[in-house]
A and B are shown apart, each in its own frame.
Chain A
Amino acid sequence: EVQLVESGGGLVQPGGSLRLSCAASGFTFSTYWMHWVRQVPGKGLVWVSCIKVDGSTTYADSVKGRFTISRDNAKNTLYLQMNSLRAEDTAVYYCARGGYISAFDIWGQGTLVTVSS
């Protein structure tokens, strides 16, 4: 079964750091672009970051310079290192597979990040 499972969310103080993980299974992880998408509870989806097969990365302007996406193909795992966290980063963070060229075809269940003092 094709599956993505996020972990690492939780409560963190403003200015703090957190690393999210996304464990992939059921497909050849190394051959897909991977993304992080976030959603403030009750609000819409927002694309956060993408990492291509060759390891090159892109970020939304709102997280550029603070977040770092990475992947470990040997462990079939995607990461999101989040630094200098702000209250507005509070959201459910989903990892998603980039399938069908520029679509997000498989999603994890999400992990909640709360930035609050």
Chain B
Amino acid sequence: QSALTQPPSASGSPGQSVTISCTGTSSDVGDYNYVSWYQQHPGKAPKLMIYEVSKRPSGVPDRFSGSKSGNTASLTVSGLQAEDEADYYCSSYAASNNYVFGTGTKVTVL
């Protein structure tokens, strides 16, 4: 199972929006609405930010939103804040109880 493709980096100024793409195949992202997104600060464990493409767990700000079209999912962070600077990973269910993560995107708040 190949990793989902994400851009290595993305950036924006405070208050702006940034969108990260996550491209898979018809066997993972394109076939299931089980895409999730994770935020990881340096030296810390990942944190779930979005599940089932666009749902937010309790406590996650509504500045974080997700969507999907075909084989590509996206995470948008609106109203960028300094604490949003982190690595972000997508993940998708990939049949037969297998899972695949994205390559990761480093978000920089300028």
Contact = CB atoms under 8 A, between A and B. Distances in A.
Interface of A: 35, 37, 44-47, 50, 52, 56, 58, 60-61, 94, 99-105, 107-110
B107 to A, nearest CB: 14
A115 B92 CA distance: 29
Contact of A44 (B1, B57, B99, B104): B104
A60 B48 contact: no
Interface of B: 1, 3, 32, 34, 36, 38, 40, 45-48, 51-52, 55, 57, 89, 91, 93, 96-104
Contacts of B57: 100, 105
Contacts of B36: 100, 102-104
A46 B45 contact: no
Contact of A105 (B48, B93, B97): B48
A37 B52 CA distance: 19
The 3 closest A-B CB pairs, nearest first, are A103-B51, A102-B34, A103-B36
Contacts of A60: 1, 98
B52 A100 contact: yes
A107 B36 CA distance: 14
Given A35-B99, A44-B102, A103 B48 contact: yes
